[in-house]
Structure 1
């Protein structure tokens, strides 16, 4: 739990510093996640980063049924879920129109989660909005993935170098590969794993074969 919480804090603190440097014009830039603009993508990340605070206020399911890698299944990317994700982010973005408000809301959201996690038992089980029953550390790992992956999208949208932090990189790579080490022959760094696993860079036939030889049948998000 402490390792994952440290990764969540590191990545959120880094993103918050970036957001506090933005001006209002930057919020209307397009992103690699159309139709979202920067303001919409940040609203989505804020909602996701703050989600655990509410989940921990609800009754705990009796046992965990899904881990972090399995959480990112096909059902999370079905057309109805995607439409709801897009529309809810755009509605949330309208509530915080200025750059200072956007940064402040993200800071409030992730700190609410961090405080709730600190007060919870490491063995706590939570239920996600999709109905998954998950151990608290496993769901927190998905929050690290969300903040890190969309941090990459925001870096691209803002024409900045990616800022993925080492603690978050370790957590994210572990989730996306199901805990298996990345084959040395691929020579991928953590940013490349993120891009390949999420379709931001395509997998070649040779890369598919190398992953199969390493016993990685698929990357989370990937094919």
Structure 2
């Protein structure tokens, strides 16, 4: 199995396991992705992991025009795009069966995995933003989606992070452009991901170490 597909499957399966343990009161907790609650964030993730089924059913663009790093460019985080994203999360949450969230997420990601497995390796897809991307590159963004929001959910639920090793490797590699963080920082991959996505603030010594090393990472919106 392709490492990106393996990471997607591992992280989605782990999220599904976590969701089976939630009680109704958990779903109404606030998250660090305001204004969403836990159930709204889960609904957003479920939609995100299921996008590829429709994308692969549509005609393929002639060629890829952007990679995963380009997909997360600042143009994707304009005020209007962000407002549409928030509204979409609310709409998705209204349609979910709160008692069957785990099953819905499980169906969504497994349908995506089956569609990816059946597609040619060089398949190009078009995203909801209009980008033409290679299938593997878009799937890389789905690993980011489920893995990073998994960190958000863990924080909201007062649980230790459950990020899987395969997903952490894919996400950290993308967010840092394939370069390791300065060794002096002593960051593990979860810390790298939290720092690069703004989920943990940089201290002054960390900023100094990053600047001294010339370390740069991908601009990323919440």
| Normalised-by-shorter TM-score class | over 0.9
* Structure 2: stretches of 5+ with no match in the other structure: none
2:50 aligned partner:
50
Question: Could you tell me how far 1:213 is from its partner in structure 2?
Answer: 4.9
Question: Could you tell me how far 1:216 is from its partner in structure 2?
Answer: 3.4
Matching of residues 63-142 of structure 1 within 5 Å: 63-98=63-98, 100-142=99-141
Runs of 4+ in structure 1 off by over 3 angstroms are 204-216
Decide whether aligned partners of structure 1 residues 211 and 134 sit closer, same or farther in structure 2, where only a CA change above 3 A counts: farther
> Over residues 152-207 of structure 1, what are the superposed CA-to-partner deviations in whole Å (9 max), with x where a residue is unaligned?
00001111100010000110001100111222122111111111111111234543
- Matched-pair contact (CA < 8 Å) for 2:176–2:216: no
Q: Aligned partners of 1:117, 1:56: CA distance in 2, in Å? A: 8
Matching of residues 140-151 of structure 1 within 5 Å: 140-151=139-150
TM-score scaled by structure 1? 0.94
- What's the secondary structure of 2:133's corresponding residue? strand
TM-score scaled by structure 2? 0.94
2:40 aligned partner:
40
Question: Could you tell me how far 1:23 is from its partner in structure 2?
Answer: 1.3
How many residue pairs end up in the alignment?
221
> Over residues 88-129 of structure 1, what are the superposed CA-to-partner deviations in whole Å (9 max), with x where a residue is unaligned?
11111111242x321111111111110100000111111111
Q: Aligned partners of 2:127, 2:144: CA distance in 1, in Å? A: 15
Aligned alpha-carbon RMSD (Å) = 1.6
Q: Aligned partners of 2:165, 2:96: CA distance in 1, in Å? A: 30
* Structure 1: stretches of 5+ with no match in the other structure: none
- What's the secondary structure of 1:29's corresponding residue? coil
